[in-house]
Structure 1
Amino acid sequence: MRLLSAAGYLVLLSSLFTHGALESMNQYESIKDSHSDASLEVRPDNRQHLMGGNFTLRCSVNGGNSTGWIMRRHQGAKNISGCLQLNGKESIDRPEECHFIDIDSKNSGLYWCENTAENKTSNTVNITVVSDSEDEKPYTGSLVWLSGLCIVLVLLVLLPVLWLLIPGFREKLHVCPNGEFRRERVQQEMPKTKQDVTEIQWDLPWMEMDNLLDK
């Protein structure tokens, strides 16, 4: 009895699995069929574009007849239809193309082509517009750190060399702004002591007497 119930359970699982697989295959085929008439292409072939750049979307329809096909974009909670409403520029020679010039963050979103009359859609293309400063910040920061390190190394090498080779440079580093260093140096070269002053005072009377005798 248990074997029969287990066998029945396996049969039920296999039938459910087969039904789900067939249903998913049918769903895939329906999606594939709905995408078979048109495909959305982007040039340049990138999903991420820099702010201020340009890109072009082209709704390529089998047979070349793009009548009835309209370009759409999903952004936030709303869908926008038409090249002009998408802030794009229509091509006169190729109506299936839409040019986006000087793009910004408003051009980001999910794009696709749709034929509402035939209830068909193309593949979707997710476009993201980023600022170029986001890519430059790490590089700029590392460049600043590298420049600062080079300046510090140059100063560490240059200052000792100047100290050893140029004596005048050493004196300039020790001179005070008010010139006290120069005055101290002159005083050291010509010292004036109290004993010297006393000797000069004693010599003055003898010099006066010598002058009187000469007369």
Structure 2
Amino acid sequence: MNILISSLLGVAAFVLQVATVIGKVGVSVWPRGSNIYLGECVLLQCTLGSNFRSVRRYQWFRHNSYTAPTPNPRHVVSGDSYSITAVTREDAGKYWCQADWWKDNTTLVAVPSMPTVLIVSELPPPSLTLTPSTRQIFKGETFLLQCPYSSGWKMMQFSLDKKDLYTSNCPTPGDAVSIDKCEFTVAGRESQLYWCEDTKSRSNTVNITASNGTIILKSPAFPVFAGNKVVLYCQYRIGNHSNATFFKNGREIIAETFFSSSDGVIEMTIENVTLEDEGLYKCASQDRKMESPESWLSVRPARGNFTSTDGTAASTMGSWKWIILFCGIVLLFLILLSVWLICHYRYQRFCTSSCLALPIENLPAVELPATKQDVTEVQWDLSWMEMSSLLDKQLYPGT
């Protein structure tokens, strides 16, 4: 009996301890808020309470509690972080994490977080300007960020490595170019998210990776439109190199045209970019001893064509065609109804004035009866006509 009571007390204590930590596991979204924009970069972070001391692993889930995130080159899971590059409509939905931690180094406890719902906004965000427009940069180089408007905005930085948020109030001595522009010098090797925000809204984000290596790939930092010309630059830190190899999704690119400039930058040009050109790109030296980090090239449908990524037609022109067709059908119905009402009204007036029974004096002459039977029939006819005339006078006075 005592063993049973102690076991029950142990289970109750364990349940109580688990209950105290449930709810202290959460998901933070950077930039803050559940609304995200097409083409931008987003980071989800699994946050823990003070009760967690030894976490064995993190697990991420999407849409439901039974499926882990499907493999996607734009989705990268690294411990307590879940990053999404070049957001698409398919990225909307519920996300949550699970922390597996040791209780007294003997029992592994799995504690899930509450789900966070990401909503992909179809409206274009206030645009952040980046110069030069590239996601990769060498340590020690500078780049320029410009907020959408000249007042009320703050430049925000979030370090993907340190998980720290910084605020830059431009202008500051040595860093500011103007009130709405900030110049940054990369001091270390790390990746950071940059965006502008005020009290009501925020701009889109951009992810900039600082490299301490010998080679980087400079690709467009923001989505490009199908049909445009795109140039990828493979840049070496030192040395005058004239050759490089470009890769897409891990495979060497053979058919494209390469061009080497005098400063050792090798260019690859895609004249008419399509949705099929989307993917992870990198460059490397010919001996493969030097490789750049990978960057995602995001391609949007041509301007004015809003076909969704899953192939369903969502163009504005198609919607307008259906609306115009529906309005035409309704208008035709109203015209036919109006014509019918007018004809019916005129018919009623015509019958009222001209379709009444004729008075007796206007009746046509009837041939005199030749026999007694004929006389009787004529008398019946006359009585019926007199009765009809009387009824007509009562129904239509004045006739």
TM range (shorter): 0.3 to 0.5
More strand by share: 2
Q: TM-score, normalised by structure 2?
A: 0.23
More helix by share: 1
Q: TM-score, normalised by structure 1?
A: 0.40
